[in-house]
Structure 1
Amino acid sequence: MGGVSRLIASIAHRIVVIGSTLAVLGAIHSLINLKLIRRPMSAGPVQEKVSVLLPVLNEADRIAPTLQSLLAQESLVDLELIIRDDGSTDQTVELINHLTRNAKFQVNVITNDAPAPTGWVSKSWSCYQMSKVATGTVLVFIDADVSFAPTAIAQGVITMREHKLDLISPYPKQTAITWSERLMQPLLQWSWLTFLPLRIAERAKNPALSAANGQFILVDAANYHASGGHSANPAAVLDDIALLRTIKNFGGSGVVVDGTELAKTRMYRNVSELTDGYAKSLWSAVGGKPQSRFLSAFLILSYVIPPLAAVTKSPLRIQRAGAIGYLAAVLSRYLIAKRTKSRTFPDVMTHPLAILGYVGLTELSWYRKLRNKLTWRGKKLP
């Protein structure tokens, strides 16, 4: 029995060492990305025409701060705002008309438009329809729950042009208040800062090297139209990442950049919204179901097994190996939280629970997808 116990302990030790090593490597890579990530450049007068495109659906309870921040934009010589309503049943359109009645720039509100054809995700259809009437040389796609700093759009345009990129996605500051938000939302920025080689990803066509956030995307209009834009992948649930891949496949370049100082948002306000929000899209995040399962196993190996080994009754060498992996993950979470002005302690300590939450939401997403039960805000998803 002693030999069997030693063999089991040896295997367990190797597993924990592998997981902790992966966590340490991830932490090192996140530190590199924190140094390399593109930051917004200072704002100067933007001479080219900029079109801001805003799709809306039942946004009456959240759109006012977004519109107010857009109306206060500075350093833009020629700006137009195009809003397309996708059949709101609340007071969204009335509120938009009221808030924009004295706008200093052109505002075009599209209502009673044709619904999304079969095979199109409603948001992608809205974005594509707005792009066809936009006249700017830069298209800015935004969401209705994002508030912008006064020079956010101007800084975004300048940053994209100065770095000779065709698309950038300034990642907004993610506000998290409830326990579910505080647990899960930090994984958004942590994931791409940990796993995506940012400078390589700018021009790499590999679809795996793509991260974007549809809350705030700027794209060169000529490149958008030439590549097909949203029409190139109309059924994509993650339309933001699909758009970036389309631009890069066409020969363009693009990447996520630091948007902490430019914009802020609160994506979900309770556990129900958060669950439905992630469940509608996680199935498509990394490809098919085998890829999703592999990623879940990888994350558990790297970020759940080490802390478990550190706190369970096991040989000291296993506990030490596990503690190293856990501390590496916590350190990377802490430094990313500091940079993105998110909560630090005690939130960063719950990283293993957040990983388990991600795994659970991924399984739920696949469950709903395979049973054709994916919906968002009352609309059925393809």
Structure 2
Amino acid sequence: MAAVNRLTVRQLNAAHTTVIEPVTVCVPARDEAAEVPALIADLRAQRGVSRLRVLILDDGSTDGTYAAAAIAAGGDERFTVIAADTGLAPGWTGKSAACARLAEIAAATADSGAVRAGALVFLDADVRLRPDAIAAAVGELRRTGAGLVSAWPRQRAGSVAEVLVQPLLCWSWAATLPVRMADRGLRPSTAVACGQFLVFDAATYHAVGGHAAVASDVTEDLALARALRRAGRHTRLAAAGRVASTRMYRGATDLDTGYTRWLWSAYGSAAGSAAVGVVATLSFWTPPLAALCARGSTRRIGGIGYLCAVASRLLARSLESGGGPRPADVVAALAHPVSIAAYLRLSVRSHRLRRAGSLRWKGRPLPDLAV
């Protein structure tokens, strides 16, 4: 499956594309003073988008995000930096509230007659873009006729914990789901989305209720993609590693907090997570143990099974990056059983903290959803 997806999933390229429709980029930023200036610099360098505007929402930051964004914008008239209060309505996650507010501002300040026209792009502050990234993503949206294109950035890693865990994000769907086939259908359960870089047809986004429709979902990106499919609109996944990258978490502590806030919701229930955990353990621990401890044909079969898992990791990483694997990718792939063990720990911790009502993200408690 990983090989099929490597050959068939669309890659966004940096080839110059011209977009003449209005494009609004929305950036929710909470305590992102260290990240947002680099994103603004990348957005100012975008080409091929003649009607680009950028809205940056300082979502109650305490680290000077507003000032950092304003300075980086440098008086560019395409950029608007907005300060928001820190309060959240009951049942909302912080990111959904910030994105919904940005979409409201985008509609309220659009040119007359174009309130819901054009493309609406949501970007995380830690995403880094090549100069043609926005044009390529919007071009893909219009080429496919989809309501949403999820542009999957290359996930950068700077610590051992990140190297072990971050590649599992892409691998989890690349090794299990025939993406091109799934994207031709409307089944919500097969939607794949990455909230770091989402490109919507603006009219479709508003028609399904936007982020307000998924206000309490901790995985609002997937929830929105599923909402579009339930409404009869197609979603598409595109590998954006050639034009976009991100370092999602910085270090083991940040990664631990980030994953535990949402992994409890990944498979519908604690029983679902447990079932996936059992399958993952049997699939990715039994073969290497057999290769090490068994004899004869069992040992050979175990070795083949382990190498298949390693190959799937490398293919998924190549799909994500749009190029060949790097030395760190090879090391991480060889350590796949350790990655699975790390995932299992994070999943158990996520369920435990959820039951205790202790899940938080960026200083805010997360809504307690019934699953």
Q: State the one-letter code of the partner of 2:335.
A: T
Provide structure 2 residue ranges, at least 5 long, that are not aligned to the other structure: 111-116
Q: State the one-letter code of the partner of 1:32.
A: V
| Structure 1 residues 288-324: Cα deviation after superposition (integer angstroms, max 9, x where no partner) | 1111111111111111111111112x23222122111
Secondary structure of the equivalent of 2:51? strand
1:373 aligned residue: 358
Q: Is the 8 A contact 2:57 2:84 kept in 1?
A: no
C-alpha distance 114-226 of structure 1, shift in aligned 2 (>3 A): farther
Deviation of 1:110 after TM superposition, in Å, equals: 2.0
C-alpha distance 133-112 of structure 1, shift in aligned 2 (>3 A): closer
Deviation of 1:358 after TM superposition, in Å, equals: 0.7
The percentage of aligned residue pairs carrying the same residue is 36
Q: For the residues of structure 2 that align with 1:242 and 1:152, how far apart are their CA atoms?
A: 24
Secondary structure of the equivalent of 2:81? strand
Q: For the residues of structure 1 that align with 2:306 and 2:338, how far apart are their CA atoms?
A: 12
Q: Which has the larger radius of gyration?
A: 1
2:343 paired residue among 358, 362, 367: 358
2:299 aligned residue: 319
1:70 aligned residue: 43
TM-score if structure 1 supplies the norm length? Answer: 0.89
1:20 aligned residue: none
TM-score if structure 2 supplies the norm length? Answer: 0.91
2:241 paired with 1:238: no
Q: For the residues of structure 1 that align with 2:35 and 2:78, how far apart are their CA atoms?
A: 22
1:84 paired residue among 57, 60, 81: 57
1:291 aligned residue: 272
2:330 aligned residue: 345
Q: State the one-letter code of the partner of 2:96.
A: S
Secondary structure of the equivalent of 1:324? helix
Secondary structure of the equivalent of 1:52? strand
Secondary structure of the equivalent of 1:252? coil
Q: Is the 8 A contact 2:141 2:147 kept in 1?
A: yes
1:122 aligned residue: 94
The number of aligned residues is 352
2:246 paired with 1:247: no
Alignment of structure 1 residues 96-175 onto 2, 5 Å: 96-103=69-76, 105-113=77-85, 115-134=87-106, 135=110, 137-175=118-156
1:267 paired residue among 248, 263, 268: 248
C-alpha distance 114-271 of structure 1, shift in aligned 2 (>3 A): closer
Deviation of 1:54 after TM superposition, in Å, equals: 0.4
Q: For the residues of structure 2 that align with 1:356 and 1:95, how far apart are their CA atoms?
A: 39
Q: For the residues of structure 2 that align with 1:178 and 1:118, how far apart are their CA atoms?
A: 36
Bigger drift between 241-250 and 32-41 goes to 32-41
Q: State the one-letter code of the partner of 1:337.
A: R
Deviation of 1:102 after TM superposition, in Å, equals: 2.8
Q: For the residues of structure 2 that align with 1:122 and 1:205, how far apart are their CA atoms?
A: 28
Q: For the residues of structure 1 that align with 2:332 and 2:56, how far apart are their CA atoms?
A: 37
Q: Is the 8 A contact 1:229 1:247 kept in 2?
A: no
Q: State the one-letter code of the partner of 2:190.
A: L
Q: For the residues of structure 2 that align with 1:290 and 1:366, how far apart are their CA atoms?
A: 11
Q: For the residues of structure 1 that align with 2:275 and 2:287, how far apart are their CA atoms?
A: 18
Deviation of 1:360 after TM superposition, in Å, equals: 0.9
Q: For the residues of structure 1 that align with 2:41 and 2:250, how far apart are their CA atoms?
A: 21
Secondary structure of the equivalent of 1:76? coil
Q: State the one-letter code of the partner of 1:380.
A: P
Deviation of 1:374 after TM superposition, in Å, equals: 0.4
C-alpha distance 35-275 of structure 1, shift in aligned 2 (>3 A): same
Provide structure 1 residue ranges, at least 5 long, that are not aligned to the other structure: 1-28
Q: For the residues of structure 2 that align with 1:165 and 1:337, how far apart are their CA atoms?
A: 25
2:13 paired with 1:37: no
Deviation of 1:53 after TM superposition, in Å, equals: 0.5
Q: For the residues of structure 2 that align with 1:203 and 1:226, how far apart are their CA atoms?
A: 21
* CA-atom RMSD in angstroms: 1.5
Deviation of 1:113 after TM superposition, in Å, equals: 4.2
Q: Is the 8 A contact 1:66 1:147 kept in 2?
A: yes
Secondary structure of the equivalent of 2:346? helix
Secondary structure of the equivalent of 1:364? helix
Deviation of 1:44 after TM superposition, in Å, equals: 2.1
Q: For the residues of structure 2 that align with 1:238 and 1:256, how far apart are their CA atoms?
A: 16
Deviation of 1:203 after TM superposition, in Å, equals: 4.2
Bigger drift between 62-71 and 269-278 goes to 62-71
Q: For the residues of structure 2 that align with 1:285 and 1:246, how far apart are their CA atoms?
A: 17
C-alpha distance 114-95 of structure 1, shift in aligned 2 (>3 A): closer
